[in-house]
Amino acid sequence: MVRGFYTAGSGMLSAGRILDVTAENLANAKTAGYKQDRVITESFSDRLAVKIDSLAKEQQKEIGTLNMGRTLNSIQTVFEEGIISHTGNPFDLAISGNGFFTLQVEDGMRLYTRNGEFGLDADGYIVNSRGARLLGENGPINTEGRLFDISETGGVYIDGVLNDNLLIYNPVNTDNMVKHDEGLFYDMGDGEQLAFDGVIKQGYIEASNVDMIEEMMEMMKSQRSLQSCSQALKMIDDTLEKAVQLGRMI
């Protein structure tokens, strides 16, 4: 009976975490370049259930296995590319292929993103919505308020003259990429990179890779699982309470 408490409880915890992650995905379904998360769960190892003969305890008969429920294993980010759409805005950039734009925040830390919605700050630097500067190989890119173009290979041209190249970060292993905030990532790995072989598209934006229908179905499934586990806990609690009352009467 106590095992039932543990199984149902672990199911509730897992379902609740999946609901949290699904809600976050849905909230960012319209965020450019957002990458959805997936909760990876695994079952506890099944235990062998046996029947022991009361007269000969050394004789045991297998009667099946007992599942101990499931537990949260990890949360993984799906880096599948979102749909790339034309906007016509020269400050909108999209990466077709693998890789991330490199940003520099105020404290000098480098962060990475697929969100290519950029603008211009008062000093002429290309920045994201929070003021983090887009980096080229020579540092933060400053257009000085002049016309600029970015080629498919990442070359930054100001008034038709090559000024810099976008610093595209293309890690060998995206498993080390950890979400920071609002579609930003930092790398917990060793920084090993692959050569960038994608295409930079100016005047385009990459949409979120969240599938709204898939997320809604996942949310409904998790809600049902949460309700079922909650009901099971209540039934077990009621049964234990009756067992206690019966024990007091005997």
pLDDT single digits (tens) 166-188:
999 999 999 899 998 778 999 99
101 & 20 share domain: no
pLDDT band at 230 (very low <50, low <70, confident <90, very high): confident
13 & 74 share domain: yes
90 & 171 share domain: yes
> Residue 65: is its pLDDT beyond 70?
no
43 & 114 share domain: no
* CA dist., res. 75 & res. 41, Å (int): 9
pLDDT band at 32 (very low <50, low <70, confident <90, very high): very high
> Residue 157: is its pLDDT beyond 90?
yes
21 & 35 share domain: yes
> Residue 240: is its pLDDT beyond 70?
no
Share of the chain above pLDDT 70, in %: 76
Number of domains in the chain: 2
Three-point CA angle 93, 94, 99, nearest 5°: 120
Domain, as residue range, for 179: 84-206
Mean pLDDT of the chain: 83
